[in-house]
Amino acid sequence: MKILVTGGAGFIGSAVIRHIINNTQDEVVNVDKLTYAGNLDSLVEIEQNPKYAFEQADICDRQAMERVFEKHQPDAVMHLAAESHVDRSIDGPAAFIETNIIGTYTLLEAARSYWNSLEKVSKTAFRFHHISTDEVYGDLEGTDDLFTESTPYEPSSPYSASKASSDHLVRAWLRTYGLPTIVTNCSNNYGPYHFPEKLIPLMILNALEGKPLPVYGDGMQIRDWLFVEDHARALYKVVTEGQIGETYNIGGHNEKANIEVVQTICSLLEELVPAKPDGVIKYSDLITYVVDRPGHDVRYAIDATKIEKELGWKPEESFESGIRKTVEWFLNHPVWWSRVLDGSYSRERLGNR
């Protein structure tokens, strides 16, 4: 197959591309606008592979999307391009409405036009796989409740509301136009190449520099943590074996309170980097509780029974093994994250690659 991946220079998208190029015979076309979160450094290991192609383009640009479909003739789309940081969505929701809603609409229309032009065999085989989040479901009330594929939507932030909207659009394009779509909703990802504004890499890098480790509220917000490489395997399973019209929840079976995650990182750093920054006695002394963000959901947790039962996928990493791999990766790849922190990764962009 030839798979068009939108947002392929992002955290999850780059993991998907690395997985496909390194583990399958399929070709990949990476379409990415290269916003602040798009980092081609995350694809260095495969960028010269003949099965890989890159197109710098905005999913909101209909002409650009039609050109990409016409030029590359993909057999499937994996749509990951999105604005995804909740705090940024609170401070500036406009970009989330534009990319996540208008961008998804534009991509759907370009894909539909292309799909309608295909011959019968190719048309039947085509898939549009939309990658979404468990945040569309809102907050879980009970301590034992889990999000299932039939959980009603109740988004809390501009980010999750925009993703909920995009999910509805994708399903409407199947119902109204017959476009063969599949939706997946995942829990919190973590792992190598994670953008440093997110919780886990932020804690690792702040601790290494002796900076405060800011924790919202009391830190008891619970998330289900999914190692990004496990997620990449699941997404490939869905796009190649999933049923049209179905939704698959993808979770890591690893519920942890935010404060527990931060404390685990501190413990690992005590073991792996005992030589601390000046003035730091214990990494955990850097933990600082800050005012909670507006509308902060207390608990997310996914029931991933369906994808395990129907497609045979389950996560390989426990939280303990995955977080150790993640911390070790950041310790061993200072060039990658230092280029993000100083901005040099984004100043170079495509022209100097």
Q: Which of 159, 193, 236, 248 is catalytic?
A: 159
C-alpha separations of 184 from 92, 178, 222 in Å: 26, 18, 21
Residue type at 150? S
135 tagged catalytic: yes
Q: Which residues of 6-40 are buried (b: 16+ CB within 10 A; e: fewer)?
A: bbbbbbbbbbbbbbbbeeeebbbbbbbbbeebbbb
Rounded Cα distance between 334 and 18, Å, is 20
Nearest Cα residue to 52 out of 3, 99, 11: 3
Other Cβ atoms closer than 10 A to 70: 12
Q: Which of 135, 229, 230, 255 is catalytic?
A: 135
Residue-level length of the chain:
353
134 tagged catalytic: yes
Spatial CB neighbours of 70, under 8 Å, sequence gap ≥ 6: 114
Note whether 256 and 336 are within 8 A (CB): no
**Beta strands across the sheet bearing 188-190:** 188-190, 222-227, 255-257
Rounded Cα distance between 198 and 20, Å, is 25
Nearest Cα residue to 33 out of 67, 66, 7: 7
Which residue shows structure tokens 């049923």?
A: 243
342 tagged catalytic: no
Q: Which of 134, 229, 230, 317 is catalytic?
A: 134
Note whether 314 and 146 are within 8 A (CB): no
Nearest Cα residue to 79 out of 42, 54, 104, 47: 104
Spatial CB neighbours of 265, under 8 Å, sequence gap ≥ 6: 200, 203, 204, 207, 283, 323, 327
Active-site residues, by number, are 134-135, 159
